[in-house]
Structure 1
Amino acid sequence: MKDIRKEIQPKNIFKAVINNPLSNQEQEVLTFLYQPIVGANAFSLYLTLLSEIDASGMSDSLFHADLITMLDLSIQQLEKARLKLEGIGLLETFVKTDSELGNVYIYRLNHPESAEHFFKDEVLTLTLLNIIGQRKLDKLFNRFKPKFVNLSGYENISVGFKDVYLFKEEQIISHSEMLNNIENSFHDSRPATKITAVSETFDWDYFISGIERLGIKLPANEEGFKEEIYIFHNLFGINELDMIDFASKSFDYYTNQIVVKDFERSIYLAKDPDKKQTNATPIRNEKVNLSEQDQQTYRHNSLKLEGFSEQDIQMIMDSENNFPLNYLEALKAGRGGYITPQERSLVKYLVSKSGLPNSVINILINYVYNIQKQPTLKADYVNRIANEWAQSKIFSPEKAISHVRDLAKQGKEKKQNRSKYNNGKPIRQEVLPDWVNNPVAEEKLSIEEQEKLDKEMEKFLKRRGDN
């Protein structure tokens, strides 16, 4: 097929076909979700082919030269656009050789996935994320996500079909042949396709035989796990033998099934050893046998001696006593918000990959959410901060707080010096991390606001503990 592709010439004839017209919803999905991925040329090619198709579901015979003229593309650009459509499942190309006409092509246009299926497909969603960024992805997700009305307290009093319409069951038998013909007319003979990260360089069958020899079973979601295997193979170049070794360290001893989370964690730790999570070491008095409550008191007093305020101390101790997802959930619940799926994935990624302890991740979350007043955590911005903190060895919550304040102070001094010596010689200044100059102005909570937030968090965490 690749050799035939190279032989496409402007004089080659083609027809475009589609099984039925696109719905309005499909056109929106195509425009907002697919177009950023495939690009302008491929998007224009799809729409141009679609416009040539008449009510019969097929276009007239056209030359590729017609496409080149309509789209103002070279044959190479046309080929690249076609490949992008094929790769994402919007187009299938068929060819046959005619003794007089040479190669004749049929371009079958496929319907885009529904918005629900698109966002449930990890490969499509991540591909879109990498192109448009987290902020735009969140906006598109909010546009397409279903809007459910809260019907609690209402009673459904709708009538059924037979309450209104006359229907005779015996007609199903007497008209079975006609009904079957109608049903089969809507059947799509095309095999179901899914965007996949499958790599031809990984031998899946060999991997399966290897784990079976060890008595290890695949997880319940075999297809999803297979996709994970290929993604890790593409990311790190892990071969079949090493993948079997990871599986042998990540299975449940009762069911013999691979535990996906353990499998992922073992790969990340092995392939990125410098990012193993660093444990925070809060000050504790180990010389005497103190209860946990007394250790907390000792920790509080130690921080106070270091010059931290009561608000800082409360924030530090909250950060040490809560997992990041619970911490973020408590912050958001205090303001009537909720964690988005993208935020949940981001926090999990930080825990597994950033190398920062949970307490420092919590301070980072607090900084972005409370100080920078961001309603949601944005992946690009949060990862910039996490990278800078990890490289600066910020492995305790108190050091994170001090670091943020030092950078903020440097930023103010830099502005003052720039203003003071505007007409003089340039002064060498320390380069601040780019996240310090984030467009959102830094704003510190008032004492009343912080106390209110601390109380709301305490109540929320207490409710979770009671449950």
Structure 2
Amino acid sequence: MTQHWQELLPIDRYVVTANGLLHDYDRKVLTFLYQPLIGAMTLSLYLTLWAELEENRLWSESHSHHSLMNFMDMNLQAIYNSRLKLEGIGLLKTYVKEDEDIRSFVYELQPPLTPEQFLLDGMLNIYLYRKIGKAQFARVKRFFSDQTMQDSDYKQVTKAFQDVFTSFHPSAFSYSDEMKQDIEMEQEYSYIGRQHPKNIKAEAPDFNFDLLFAGLHENLISGSAFTEPVREVISNLAFLYGIDPIQMKNIVISAIDEDNKINLEELRKSARDWYQFEHYDQLPSLIERTQPVIHQSSKQEPETQEDKLIRYFDTTSPLQFLKDISGGAEPAKAEMKIIEDVMFGQKLNPGVVNVLIDNVLRIADKKLPRGLVEVIAGEWVRNEIKTVKEAMELAKKNRRQYIERAKEKKTTKSGNYKKKPIRTEVLPDWFDKEDKNEAKEKSVAAKTAEEIEKDNREIEEMLKKLRS
């Protein structure tokens, strides 16, 4: 697993540049449109880097990341995680150069999308609507819009360029090599200006266009209809709504117009209608994301049964995990709200949330009590749990400490005193599986080969049930 300190150190240097001028209006766009999705801490990093740029210039001075930590009162891991969010949402490009023991970064700030681009994006607008709700979304739309001129009594009388200006005959002046050299910009320089921001491309990594084409008859729609913009929208929709090629086929068919082309607006509407029909009129949110790659516990093919379970938690969203353990049934809205609040409020990674769900369901007899979820989540946040493996190890450690404390209390009690019952919790399959009688005599950490084999069988059965 790649830790943040392998990618970034306090002594590493950085400079800030910008892909074109950033305007004061961009602050409003960042605050009202981007902040609900990336959080105040991530927005603060963007604004801090922006402030380091000199007015109307494109390069800052060189600084260490230690100075950035002091300015923002944030640890390096928080800065690194915020940087990744800025990169993911298209607000930052990062470049690195390594010379022996010196590592330096260039942080290139990207201008945010225009309000029109963002609110018509087809993906970001869905996430924003799901995050802030109908009323606030309507407020944001009003803030970034105004009435257009519709009075038909007015007619345009604007003069064209050629009506106002005239040009010299080419013979009136000479275009010398010296003049050409003076006009052209030096190779190592570029003009300061505003670059047009590009929409985010979120391609579904496993979307199979060949399978989609195989399900579409050539007489129904030609391959030429799948232009680059159409492919991009299909990839975004597949990522956003979790649509596979078979399901996408019917959505594409419903968006074919009379010219045998794919209407992008109809395509987006059909995909949204399909998702809301499948998910009881809900819209997707960030709870459906899986464990970030940088925090996945294993990058190699799993070998043991426990490795396979870790891989499952790493590559499965909390929503899908709740479905799997419920036999494919949709989770209750109250449960979804609890898990979403933990992910957004406590900032736990999706894979860690999967372990948390599994743990609580077994402890609380297949229920998700909000209080218990929040208590365990708070403990894991304080312990800075970022990976599935760390979550599982902390849960095991707490279990061992609980058993040891219970044993100590039992041995110090006199037989004349009334003994209080010790609560025994139902534990996840990946916890220690030692027999209760044997646990009284042996250390919890000590397992025989037979017990390890039993663990592996139980984990394998759990995986088969989940995958089915």
After TM superposition, the score normalised by the length of structure 1 is 0.48
Higher helix share: 1
After TM superposition, the score normalised by the length of structure 2 is 0.48
Structure number with greater CO (CA < 8 Å, separation at least 6) is: 2
